[in-house]
Amino acid sequence: MQEATAIARHSLAVTRRQYLVWRKVIWPSLATNVASPLLFLFAFGFGLGAVVDEMGGLSYLAFIVPGMMAYAAMFAASFETTIGSFARLDFQKTWDATLATPVTLLELLLGEAFWATCKAMISATCVLVVGVLWGGVGSAAGALLCLPLLLLAAFAFATCGLVATAYARSWEFFSYYFTFWITPMFVFSGVFFAVDRFPAYVQPIAWVLPMTHLIQVVRPLVAGQDVALLEALGHVTYVALLGAAAFVVAYFRLKRRLFD
């Protein structure tokens, strides 16, 4: 128990450092993580919303708001633990400085992932607020219920990003991560279209991606539709397990990379 509080305290000290830095670069950071999903929301909401009457039993706006919430969370968390973490690992040597203190690698990585989760929640919440004002949220209660789910998912997206950082030797490496992980989640996971509209051979790819599972739960909740509890639990478990597995992989890979 004492050890658990020590781990929490040291992890939060790392998170707090990120927060301090973030306050200094708040505007460019908000532009990336908040303005960019909102631009997508407006472009697709107005553009496609004008020609698509309904999608998956919802108005196109109601369809796309939960998708953009998930996307905003996923992108913010991923960006933070790839580009952001790699900068601290590689050229700023912040991790080296941190690990020379009583902070352990476990706590450092937890602190990084916590902060990425915070940023993801800021982005997702902003999209939610705009969605409410625009009339794209069917159930306020359901939307609130989504927030802890998004939190869990954001943490999982963050740990997946840490895996990429653990293997990255240069910035160029992340173009693979963005092309073959982030972009597929953007286009195949049901942000803009229902997954069942894709040909059969795309479906398995879609269901490997954690984003697909997240959206399957978040969308009916935000829209105020019925949610099959057991099915939802399955989706959430998948995301949680993937996140946990990613954390373990990132931890051991970095342990070898940094200490051996």
Partner 1 sequence: MSAPVIIARGLEKSYGRVHAVRGIDFEVARGRCVGLLGPNGAGKTTTMRMIMGLTTPSAGELRVFGEPVARLTRQLKARIGLVPQENNLDPDLSVRQNLEVYGRYFSLPAALLAERIPALLAFMQLGERRESGVNQLSGGMKRRLVLARALISDPQLVILDEPTTGLDPQARVMIWKRLLDLKRQGLTLLLTTHYMDEAQRLCDEIIVIDHGRILDRGPPQDLIDRHVKGHVFEVQKPLPSGFRDGQWEQEDIGDAILYYVETPRAFTEDLPEDVVYWHRQANLEDVFLRLTGRQLREN
Q: Which of 43, 46, 57, 102 binds partner 1 (CB under 8 A)?
A: 102
> At its nearest, how many Å lie between partner 1 and the CB of residue 167?
18
Question: Quick check: 166 binds partner 1 (CB under 8 A)?
Answer: no
Q: Is residue 260 a contact residue for partner 1 (CB under 8 A)?
A: yes
Using only the alpha carbons of the chain, give its radius of gyration.
18
C-beta of 101 vs 179, nearer to partner 1: 101
Residue 8 sits at φ, ψ, to 5 deg, of: -60, -45
Q: Which is nearer to partner 1, 16 or 197 (CB)?
A: 16
Nearer to partner 1, 82 or 98 (CB): 98
For residues 86 and 257, the answer to whether their CB atoms sit within 8 Å is: no
Segment 185 to 244, residues that bind partner 1, using CB under 8 A: none
Under the binding rule (CB under 8 A), the answer on residue 169 touching partner 1 is no
How many residues bind partner 1, per CB under 8 A? 25
Contacts of 191 (CB under 8 A, 6+ apart): 64, 67, 68, 70, 71, 185, 211, 215
The answer to the question of residue 13 lying near partner 1 (CB under 8 A) is: yes
**30 lies in the site for partner 1, by CB under 8 A:** no
Q: H helices within the chain, ranges in order?
A: 2-24, 26-30, 36-51, 60-79, 85-89, 94-99, 105-134, 140-167, 173-177, 183-188, 203-208, 210-223, 229-259
> How many Å apart are CA 259 and CA 141, to the nearest integer?
47
Q: Is 10 in the site for partner 1 (CB under 8 A)?
A: yes
Residue placing its CB nearer to partner 1 in the complex, 62 or 103: 103
> Judged by CB under 8 A, which of 26, 31, 43, 97 binds partner 1?
97
Of positions 26, 46, 54, 93, contacts partner 1 by CB under 8 A = 93
Query: Which of 16, 47, 196, 248 is the binder for partner 1 (CB under 8 A)?
Result: 16
φ/ψ (deg, to 5) at 21: -65, -40
Distance CA 235, CA 231 (A): 6
Whole-angstrom Cα distance, residue 155 to residue 75? 12
Binding of partner 1 by 96 (CB under 8 A) = yes
Cα gap 102→250, rounded to integer Å: 20
Give the interface with partner 1 as residue ranges (CB under 8 A): 6, 9-10, 13-14, 16-17, 20-21, 24-25, 92-94, 96-103, 258-260
